[in-house]
Amino acid sequence: MVEQSSVGGLSKTMARLSTLGFVIVPLVVAYAFIDPDNSKWMMFAYEGVKLSSSQPLALRLLALVCALAPTAFTMWALWSLRRLFLLYAKGSVFSAEALEALNHVAVALFAGVVVAFIMQAPISLALSWPRGAGHREISLSFGSGDVVRLFMAGVVLVIARVMAEARRVADENAKFV
């Protein structure tokens, strides 16, 4: 059995990493769209979209605005994870707040995949607009990464439901004592 202190320490570390991700993710996305030629070292790819500094900045900024929609869901998931890990660090594992945070993670992961899929169309159109009529593209893709994220959202949702049921059973048993 894991000691509470090790769970608390690990949870605090994960809360810090979630906070760091919350800050870094939107910066990386913005950097990739604003300065695509110099950001290639990060090997960042946005849903198969080819970014280049030869594309007009105004259109890259329009695409960035669209890309920030699914990024916002990623940030929500990371912030909810931060909240969850801070609750775990305090020993609040089966509380209503912890279960709510876990549910938020699942919803944010799922919604992020859906919104990212939808946003591919305006992003691809904006970035291909300078090519002129007959050469513009509207693209949509759904890959294995999307399937993995949807599966992870489902796993988190099931875990949240299992924990809620465990909490309900524990509360029910406590009433009999």
Report residue 14 as tokens: 């994960």
Provide the pLDDT for residue 39.
83
Give dist(CA 150, CA 152) in Å, integer. Answer: 5
DSSP 142: -
- C-alpha of 23 from chain center: 12
Provide the pLDDT for residue 42.
73
Q: Are 67 and 33 in contact (CB under 8 A)?
A: yes
Q: First-to-last CA distance in the chain?
A: 26
Give dist(CA 16, CA 85) in Å, integer. Answer: 9
Provide the pLDDT for residue 158.
92
Report residue 121 as tokens: 């169309």
* 177 residues of the chain, pLDDT tens digit each: 344 568 889 999 999 999 999 999 999 999 999 998 888 777 666 655 678 888 899 999 999 999 999 999 999 999 999 999 999 999 988 888 999 999 999 999 999 999 999 999 999 899 888 887 888 788 888 888 889 989 999 999 899 889 888 888 888 888 876
Provide the pLDDT for residue 70.
95
Provide the pLDDT for residue 1.
39
Provide the pLDDT for residue 49.
67
